[in-house]
Structure 1
Amino acid sequence: MLVVVASVSGAPGVSTAALGLAALWPGRPGLLVEADPCGGVVAARFAVRQEPGLAALAAAARHGLPSGGPAQFVQSLPVGVHAVVGPGAAETAAGAVSVLAAQPEAVAGLAPVVVVDAGRLYPGSPAHGLLRRVDALVLVTAGGTEHLDHVDTRLAALRASLRTRGVGLAVAGKTRYTSEEISGRFGVPVWAHLPSDRWGAAGLCGRMSGPAWTRTRLAQALRALAATLAARARPAPRAVLEVVR
């Protein structure tokens, strides 16, 4: 299953949500692929190297992935998830994302569940190519009127890019609108409300160690979102690359 987490404006917590989804996926963690063309943040937040990571994976993908699978490009994060981390430099990140987005089936085949942090899906973002294969697109948005208006202006174009109807919203922070009002306006479900939770965010941003973050309100919301998305999963193909054997 390929899940893309993104926003259309601002910085409502896409990286935090994507990491939490991968870590809390039912049964076993998913693989996080940090494919934000504006540059990655995971390596800096968790004090890991930028390589092996997305740039090396993209370089290998130009000639077909090695027979050993993606394991050589993956790093283990303290929150209990494996990740292909993105480079911090926007130019390098955008180039790597362009290469991988041209091969969405290969990205989807990296693991049984791949959660992609696509950053902001601005018009012309190289990450748009991934939408041709995505099983679920999670648009993270703040709940204010101006942020929802931005979703309104971009949603039709994004839905036209999808091969399925699998798009939903994750509303971050407080909002004066109900889920029914938001869903009724956009014609897509509100899959989650992500609370403002400094402890949960601290665990997913590398500022707090240990498993305590998994008991926070944010973790509970992300665990429920992961379960909702997992229920949409198609039967997995028999031949699939495992990240860790």
Structure 2
Amino acid sequence: MSVIALASAKGSPGTTITGLALASTWPRDVVLAEVDPAGGDLGWRCRDRSGDPLDPDRGLLSLGAAARRGASETTLGEHLQEAAFGRPVLVGVSSPDQLAGLGGAWSQLSALFSAHPDDVLVDVGRVTPGSPALPVLVRADVVLFVVRPDLEGVAHLRERLQSLRTALRLGEYDGPPVGVVAVTSYRDTNVVDDLQRLLDSEKLGVHVLGIVADDPKAARILSSSRLGDPRKTLLGRSAKTIAERVVQLAGDARLSEVR
């Protein structure tokens, strides 16, 4: 099983919605975990199977409480909730003020994710120097950056990748594969090749995997069990393609390690 870290370089390019869309179309059993230190959105965006709000105290906060009690045998599964879109989620903190309550949980997250029997998609939010979520990013099996392919978004992505070149071992055989997805209109057919050429010119060794369709109506479907099947939307179909490519990227990386 694989741990996939989803990150952004700046602002809100749609990382949470991308994570939800990927999780809903993932080809294997998967968990969506939210560890954004700035505060996450899953607790607000998602409902449970019965349509009720998710419990904000069951998730990263309850995992932190278990760590403070010295519950070394706690598992990721104990802190998950089943969301309306059909996958279990780990609800993150709602604001940075709650970070202090996590205690030693940060040091355990990577091990908990790796020990889980299913794939884990981890939304680490905006990556900044010194972020407590950075160890999750650098220990992931695949790192996936989400970007809006405008001038500002691409500039910040390039700058952040350069700053993480050593930490992520970009271009080195023992580094995790790093992918990029662009959140934009499905009609923006040139963006993938243009973005790949730009990043190749910086010798960053990352793979532009494709587009996640900017589809606000489909994003609302992911928050409800009653509005329809998100997999039939432009967002769902584009996310399914990306999910398959990420799984392939993780598999290729494992084969390289064996060789």
RMSD over aligned Cα, in angstroms?
Answer: 2.5
Deviation at 1:84, TM superposition (A): 0.9
* Distance change (3 Å), C-alpha of 1:210 and 1:65: farther
Show the 5 A alignment for 1:204-243: 204=222, 206=223, 209-234=226-251
* Distance change (3 Å), C-alpha of 1:103 and 1:216: closer
Residue 60 of structure 1 pairs with residue 66 of structure 2: yes
The range that moved more, 48-57 or 159-168, is 159-168
The range that moved more, 143-152 or 168-177, is 168-177
CA–CA separation in structure 1 for the residues paired with 2:54 and 2:112: 25
CA–CA separation in structure 2 for the residues paired with 1:71 and 1:94: 23
Show the 5 A alignment for 1:21-100: 21-28=22-29, 30-46=30-46, 47-61=53-67, 63-66=70-73, 69-93=75-99, 96=102, 99-100=105-106
Q: Which amino acid aligns with 1:167?
A: V
Q: Is the 8 A contact 1:138 1:167 kept in 2?
A: yes
Deviation at 1:44, TM superposition (A): 1.7
SS in 2 for 1:185: helix
Residue 172 of structure 1 pairs with residue 190 of structure 2: no
CA–CA separation in structure 2 for the residues paired with 1:76 and 1:93: 24
Deviation at 1:61, TM superposition (A): 3.6
Alignment equivalent of 2:196, drawn from 160, 183, 187: 183
Deviation at 1:135, TM superposition (A): 1.0
Residue 195 of structure 1 pairs with residue 191 of structure 2: no
Give the TM-score taking structure 1 as reference length: 0.85
CA–CA separation in structure 2 for the residues paired with 1:222 and 1:159: 27
Give the TM-score taking structure 2 as reference length: 0.81
Q: Is the 8 A contact 2:33 2:89 kept in 1?
A: yes
CA–CA separation in structure 2 for the residues paired with 1:176 and 1:94: 44
Q: Which amino acid aligns with 1:209?
A: R
Q: Which runs of 5+ in 1 are unaligned?
A: 236-245
Partner of 1:239: none
Among the aligned pairs, what percent are the same residue?
A: 27
* Distance change (3 Å), C-alpha of 1:130 and 1:94: farther
Q: Which runs of 5+ in 2 are unaligned?
A: 47-52, 169-173, 201-205, 253-259
Report the number of matched residues: 233
User: Larger radius of gyration, structure 1 or 2?
Assistant: 2
CA–CA separation in structure 1 for the residues paired with 2:144 and 2:218: 19
Deviation at 1:49, TM superposition (A): 1.1
Partner of 1:241: none
* Distance change (3 Å), C-alpha of 1:54 and 1:12: same
Q: Is the 8 A contact 2:145 2:179 kept in 1?
A: yes
